[in-house]
A and B are shown apart, each in its own frame.
Chain A
Amino acid sequence: MATPLVVSEVFKSFTMHLRDGIKLPVINDVNFSVAGGECVVLGGPSGIGKSSILKMLYGNYAVDAGQILVNHQDRIVDIARADPRTIIDVRRHTMGYVSQFLRTVPRVPAVDVVAEPLFARGVDAAEAREKASDLLAKLNLPRELWSLPPATFSGGEQQRVNIARGFITSHRILLLDEPTASLDAVNRRVVVEMIAAKKSDGVALLGIFHDEEVREAVADRILDVLEFSPRKAAA
């Protein structure tokens, strides 16, 4: 089976047109790959471009040069060049993303927010909600919150909804941007278990974890993003 995710010679900079077009390099010459069943953690100080890498992989940031090759339904898709429709399809079927913050949709209950990726794939609504409920229960989200829209939830509660939403599918690639940042120790452990389960299912995981304990527990390998930093030369 092909490697689920291969990143090759990726460059990224921001051109600030509103500030006389100054060019801010973000990362240079990124090369790595993530195998199925492996959890790779991006390491390095904050502001070094870890989140930017995840966003590029997800198609959320454009790429200046290089390739981001994703094994999508038995063909290789280059996210750096794919059209929007292909990226949406990759997101729907192959690559999941758990961000730090939940972008809440007004008036949609938490259980449906979690189940939504399954709805989008055409899974039966009752079955999807049952699966969503299982995950919310596992993450210890109080049952009385399930039918409420998450907009008014606390940071930790929103985070758990977000994690459940990211983990509900059987995506072959999962990008995790500090999913445990605002969780207590009990729920951090739950997330660690969930990541371990994904690994044994053969999912390729790439994440950012500032919590050392979590990082130790899940990482197969730590990739130092400082390696790709344009500031490296200066440092």
Chain B
Amino acid sequence: MTDLATYNFAYLDEQTKRMIRRAILKAIAIPGYQVPFASREMPMPYGWGTGGVQVTAAILGPDDVLKVIDQGADDTTNAVSIRAFFQKVANVAVTTHTRDATIIQTRHRIPEEKLTEGQVLVYQVPIPEPLRFLEPRETETRKMHALEEYGLMHVKLYEDIARNGHIATTYAYPVKVAGRYVMDPSPTPKFDNPKMHMSEALQLFGAGREKRIYAVPPHTEVVSLDFEDYPFEIQKFEQPCALCGAHDVYLDEVVLDDKGGRMFVCSDTDHCEDRRDHGHAGAMLAPKKEAAE
């Protein structure tokens, strides 16, 4: 059992991991370019992060410390399952602390805490092609990428403004990477787009069903598309986190009862806990925690 597990470290066979690593290297060499790869069947359904899991499996080593988040939280089903999966097939150390992790697999968020050199952020991507909804032909979208014909991307933003008076796209907001390829940052809120720009960490994107891998190497320019008279803006929240009192973080709305009661809390659970541990408190934080200590 032990020998077999070592041979098949992190579930995928060595040939597959080499194939995926080659795709990753190519993706790093051409920032923002979607590299096709022979995506494997994984023991989970498409849409549950099979692309991200394959990328993580290919780069994971025995000394890595893995963190998995889903919508910013370490404790939701998808995050818990994937974390358990890698514990089982690779026996790696896991953590919920952003700063302790060497690899962070994410669905839909970038941690609030600034990522540092040596860390790798692995995104789970459902639809990698930013041009897809305007141009259904794959042959045509590839040609458009090759020839840098990105007018269509602005058609989408134009439609947004025409319909809503402002750019209403709030997630999967298109970016231009290293001044060349337009890329879909996966369905992360546009709030996180600025964090991709000149990040010290390596960012890898895996789309299992669509069989594409792409990457943003560290210290790479990532610019959100916009118009001169409608510049890119991130969401602003009216109140701070109800638990830790943090401003300038991405908040989730939590419905408390069926009478309209609700609270806004950090989407990044680790960040929130860390702040509370350091004595920050929001308006709705129960004081009894201190008593218990």
Q: Do chains A and B touch in the complex (CB under 8 A)?
A: no
- Taking Cβ atoms with an 8 Å cutoff, the residues of B that contact A are none
